[in-house]
Amino acid sequence: MPLLTKVRQLPVNRWIDLALFLFLLTFPIWQNTYWVYIMSGIMAYMIFALSLDLLWGYTGLMSMGHSVLFGAGGYMIGIASAWANQADWIKFDQLPWFLAILSQPLGAFLAALFLPGLIALFIGLFMFSGKIRGVFFSLITLALAGISELFVINQSRYTHGDSGITVTSRTLFSNSDSQRLTDQQFYFVVLAFLLGSYLLCLWLVNTRTGKVLQGIRENESRLTYLGYKPAAFKLFIFMLSGMMAGLAGMLFVRVQGSINHSAIGINLATLVLVWVAVGGRGNLTGALIGTLLLQFSETKLNSVFSGISADFAQYWKLVLGLLLLLIVFVIPKGLIGVLLEQQQSRQGRDRKAAIMRKEVHSHDANP
Amino acid sequence: MSPSMLLQLLVSGLASSFVLLLTSLGLVIILGYMKVVNLAHTEMLMSGAFICYYVYQAAGLPFIVALLVAFAVSFLFGALVERLIICHFYGKMSETLLATYALSILLKQAALLLLGKNYKKVDYPVKTVFQWGPVYLESYKLVVAGLAILSLLLTLLFIYKTKTGRMIRAAMQNRSMTESLGINTKKIDTITFAYGMGLAGLAGAIIAPLSTVTYTLGESWLTNTFMNVVMGGVSSLFGTFASSVLIQESVSVISGLSNSVTAQIIVLLVVIVVVRLKPDGLFTAKERR
Amino acid sequence: MTPTHKPADKAEAAPVLLETRGLSVSFNGFQALSDISLSIRQGELRVIIGPNGAGKTTFMDLITGKAKPTAGQVLFEGQDITGKSAAEIARRYKIGRKFQGPNVFDNMTVAENIELAVAGYEGLTQSLFFRASARFRHRVTEILEQIELADYRSFMATDLSHGQRQWLEIGMVFAQDPKLIILDEPTSGMTADETRKTGDMIKKLKGEHTILVVEHDMDFVRQVADYVTVFNLGKRLVEGTLEAVQQDPEVQAVYLKEAD
Ligand SMILES: Nc1ncnc2c1ncn2[C@@H]1O[C@H](COP(=O)(O)OP(=O)(O)O)[C@@H](O)[C@H]1O
Ligand SMILES: [Mg+2]
């Protein structure tokens, strides 16, 4: 009985998560290689969206430049791969000392994970120790995305500038061309990382730390009067989120086989905001579903309409803008947020009714 | 670097300062007086530039007419946007950012799909180039500086000397008190936002001859204008002026030493450090009165 | 003295817990508090009254580290805590504060609000690997019962009534298990019934805890107070038993002026 009630009390979105992962698990069975490849990219984006949800949805830190961390992870793989296969644009004989790690086995993997973490640590230390919060945090992160994009274009010696880098290897660790997993195989690699990231997030948001993060979102100053130091928690979540974003960037580059400045700039930074806003923030599911719905629709519609209009991508952005406006107006909590709200208000009514019954009862018992 | 080159850099830096001031004015009004972060601001610049192209370059009307049309259209558009969208999200930061971002996508994509990808060039309304010894300056840049100062002065006059301006300031300082005096703060909000957008459109039209007019014109200004306003102190017009000069002079001089992109990156990073050290802005000394 | 003053007499002998010496603060030239010296003994329940704008909230801001004094000292258990950070004052010196007007975590449940407030797990790693023990859960339930919100534990704080939100914040302060409990207008916006219940909650803590409470509601003050300090215009006007204070001509003048 208690187990049954527990299951009944489970937020609806956890069932959606379950269904989603079952769907993803079976997806390659009934889909062709092209869609498996597309879905691998979407799953990498889902990890990215989850990382933003931790930061924005749970902690209330609306980063408008999260792509910096995604791109940092991606570029590590890009540079490592270009070096390993001696891409024709490479004009140096030796990796500079700060990139030397990329020539080591495992090095690119670690760099893609920890460099974004390190960047997040620096940005976080810098911002959270000062009075930068709220909209200033958003604006400065936005500016950082703009600056990073300029930076990678400018550093063409290592990033191949505007053209970006082609990554032909597709394994988790190796950067050599000769080693390549099939689309199907790599799909499951990405899925495993997505599941791991999801479980990590789910665990984290239900720990006391997760509650503190929500406390920061709800009322940061109140927390300090309970003896907490919010800056430490913000730094922690920013770093973790940064590493997840880096992981997402690394996987995405491996799937897609290329990286350019758009992966680090304002475009992607705002796109991920749209995914999370549409799906609903602060419940993990929204980030997953929002990304899946929007990215899947884009690809699907593109395959339908690209024959009709060469400008499909541009029309799609227009649709995205309209959709975002609609969501902010009609369901600011996002798709999953609405479902959760309905469940909560139903449970709330039940609880109120129970309290009423109890009061009537106690009144009857001792008039 | 030779002294004459430095002088040239300083002069062109100063000229760019006025451009940055101009492109930031509308933003600082909306951010400072309404606490609204208007991510569609720079797309309004882009729209203003297009208006200038069509009215002045294509239709051949006088430049000044193009400026007035750009201001009027942007003003009306701003009023409409405030009534339809912005007014629903006061005090909600995330929603405002998302809504104005959505608006910016709509403007940009509409420009792209309706007006095409081609670059459009707007001729200089005045074409002489001044030369003092080794220093060159296009006369239009002087015009821009004059227009920037004029916009600043007119804005100051509007905010400090007109009845509407007084109400705008009152509404910023104490909303409920202003309302209790029988002032329609809703109308004030609409006017403030519309004025900010109008300035953005005007600025876009003024800088059109200096730019390649295309749908990406807006996004190229995004980082600079926002960081400029944040550094100047969000509600200070003079602060914005001062930080425009500081930013563009530094960019100009540093780009003489390396290249313009590196200069931009360095200066923006320094701006972020400054904002961290002085979160209320570098120039937050009391404005007059 | 009448027998009702016994607890206060006992408190006379107890050591001083909180002492302020010449505490002053000014905001942009406006002197909000001047030269407040005051001491509160262990186990005492002290009520501060005074008209709006007298500086009562500002006084608590100075004690809890929200604002820094321009002059003077705050001593807690004999240690100088002047100018220390809010988090340190809450965590290390164990001063808990309820703010004027409910100040809680709106989109979190009632139980989560209380759980966050339970002291002893404020560090990052502590909170990361924290598992609620039976004792912890028992403590949370106990507090929820104390503040009459046991049936509401799964409600979102934002769905509570104003009075219940006030209780929730009082519960959060209890959960901190502080050495000094500071309550800023705990009954504001409450119905008469709720106010009386709040008085009962606070009286139950009397003697065991040291409590500093700011209040306007005279019925409430009568219900809980033995010893009262009156603030006016940033100064400490008088101090004494409630009866004595009410007799004071200066106090009467201040309150008469307010009634005008
Ligand atoms: N941070 C602050 N800045 C400026 N003035 C303040 C600040 N805090 C309080 N004051 C002023 O100090 C005075 C005392 O306020 P307060 O302590 O809130 O009074 P009370 O709680 O007794 O009603 C008021 O006039 C208030 O405006
Ligand atoms: Mg007060």
> Where are the domains positioned within chain C?
1-83+210-260
Looking at the whole model, is its pTM more than 0.90? yes
Please give the residue range of the domain that contains residue A235: 3-365
Mean pLDDT, residues C96-105 taken together: 92
d(CA A18, CA A197): 14
pLDDT tens readout for residues B103-136: 999 999 999 999 988 899 999 998 888 888 888 8
Q: Give residue C128's Cα distance to chain centre.
A: 30
Q: Which of A62, A127, A325 sits opposite B94 (nearest CB)?
A: A62
Contact between C23 and C34 (Cβ < 8 Å): no
pLDDT for residue B196: 95
Mean pLDDT, residues B174-196 taken together: 88
DSSP classification of residue A179: -
More confident: A273 or C238: A273
What residue type is assigned to position A208 of the chain?
R
Give the minimum alpha-carbon distance from A333 to chain C in angstroms, rounded to a whole number: 13
Check pLDDT > 60 for residue C2.
no
pLDDT tens readout for residues A76-86: 999 998 888 88
pLDDT tens readout for residues C144-189: 999 999 999 999 999 999 999 999 999 999 999 999 999 999 998 8
Report the residue of B272, B278, B280 to disrupt the A interface, i.e. the one with the largest count of A CBs within 10 Å.
B272
φ, ψ of residue C67 in degrees (nearest 5): -130, 155
pLDDT for residue C256: 62
DSSP classification of residue B117: S
Residue C135, classified by CB atoms within 10 Å of its CB into exposed (0-12), middle (13-18) or buried (19+), is exposed
d(CA A227, CA A214): 16
Residue of minimum CA distance from atom 6 in ligand 1: C27
Give the minimum alpha-carbon distance from C10 to chain A in angstroms, rounded to a whole number: 30
CA distances from residue A1 to A4, A5, A7 in whole angstroms, order as listed: 5, 6, 10
User: How far apart are the CA of C52 and the centre of ligand 2, in A?
Assistant: 7
pLDDT for residue A129: 85
Residue of minimum CA distance from atom 17 in ligand 1: C55
d(CA C170, CA C198): 9
Check pLDDT > 70 for residue C258.
no
pLDDT for residue B288: 32
Q: Is residue C111 less than 8 Å (CB to CB) from chain A?
A: no
Check pLDDT > 80 for residue B97.
yes
Instruction: Name every residue whose Cβ is closer than 8 Å to that of residue A22 and which is 6 or more positions away in sequence.
Output: none
**If you search the block for the tokens 């945090």, which residue do you land on?**
A137
d(CA C34, CA A74): 60
Q: What is chain C's mean pLDDT, rounded?
A: 88
Q: Is residue A225 less than 8 Å (CB to CB) from chain C?
A: yes
d(CA A151, CA B264): 10
pLDDT level of residue B286 (50, 70, 90 thresholds): very low
Quickly name the fold that domain C1-83+210-260 has: Rossmann fold (3.40.50)
CB contact under 8 A, A227 and C87: yes
**If you search the block for the tokens 């000292």, which residue do you land on?**
C73
Q: Is residue B114 less than 8 Å (CB to CB) from chain A?
A: no
Coil, strand or helix at A95: coil
CATH number at residue A349: 1.10.3470
SS percent in chain C: helix, strand, coil, step 5:
40, 25, 30
Coil, strand or helix at B121: strand
Half-sphere exposure of A224 (CA within 13 A, CB side): 16
Mean pLDDT, residues B200-227 taken together: 94
d(CA B128, CA C26): 59
Instruction: Name every residue whose Cβ is closer than 8 Å to that of residue C27 and which is 6 or more positions away in sequence.
Output: none
Q: Is residue C145 less than 8 Å (CB to CB) from chain A?
A: no
pLDDT for residue A350: 87
Check pLDDT > 70 for residue B287.
no
Token pair for C90:
């809450």
d(CA A18, CA A26): 13
Mean pLDDT, residues B220-249 taken together: 89
User: How far apart are the CA of C85 and the centre of ligand 1, in A?
Assistant: 20
Please give the residue range of the domain that contains residue B110: 17-217
To test ligand 1's pocket by mutation, which of C27, C236, C255 has the most ligand atoms within 8 angstroms of CB? C27
Check pLDDT > 90 for residue C92.
yes
Least confident residue range of A87-101, B61-75, C81-95: A87-101
Check pLDDT > 60 for residue C64.
yes
Token pair for C62:
């100075």
Pairing of β C71-76 and β C79-80 = antiparallel
**pLDDT under 70 in chain A at which residues?**
1-2, 177-178, 363-367
Q: Strands, E, within chain B: which ranges?
A: 120-121, 129-132, 135-138, 212-213
Check pLDDT > 80 for residue B289.
no
pLDDT for residue C207: 77
Q: Is residue C178 less than 8 Å (CB to CB) from chain A?
A: no
Residue of minimum CA distance from atom 27 in ligand 1: C53
Q: Give residue C15's Cα distance to chain centre.
A: 19
Least confident residue range of A158-167, A331-340, B68-77, B203-212: A158-167
User: How far apart are the CA of B287 and the centre of ligand 1, in A?
Assistant: 25
pLDDT for residue B52: 96
More confident: A131 or C229: C229
pLDDT level of residue B215 (50, 70, 90 thresholds): very high
- For residue C4, give the H/E element and its range: none
d(CA C66, CA C8): 30
Domain total in chain B: 1
B147 in a domain, yes or no? yes
Sheet order of strands, C16-27 included: C30-41, C16-27, C71-76, C79-80
How many CB atoms sit inside 10 A of residue A34's CB?
11
Mean pLDDT, residues C33-59 taken together: 92
Residue C124, classified by CB atoms within 10 Å of its CB into exposed (0-12), middle (13-18) or buried (19+), is middle
Q: Which residues line ligand 1 (CB under 6 A)?
A: C 27, 30, 32, 50, 52-58
pLDDT for residue A365: 61
| Position in ligand 1 atom list of the atom nearest CA C185 | 21
State the Cα angle at A87 between A84 and A88, rounded to 5°.
150
CB contact under 8 A, A136 and B275: yes
d(CA C36, CA C49): 14
Check pLDDT > 60 for residue B223.
yes
Q: Which of A214, A228, A344 sits opposite C87 (nearest CB)?
A: A228
CB contact under 8 A, B269 and A147: yes
pLDDT for residue C5: 43
pLDDT level of residue C252 (50, 70, 90 thresholds): confident
φ, ψ of residue C21 in degrees (nearest 5): -125, 115
pLDDT tens readout for residues B266-283: 999 998 888 888 877 776
Mean pLDDT, residues C3-31 taken together: 75
B222 in a domain, yes or no? no
User: How far apart are the CA of C28 and the centre of ligand 1, in A?
Assistant: 12
Neighbouring chains of B at 3+ CB pairs within 8 Å?
Answer: A
Token pair for C211:
């409590």
Domain total in chain A: 1
B253 in a domain, yes or no? no
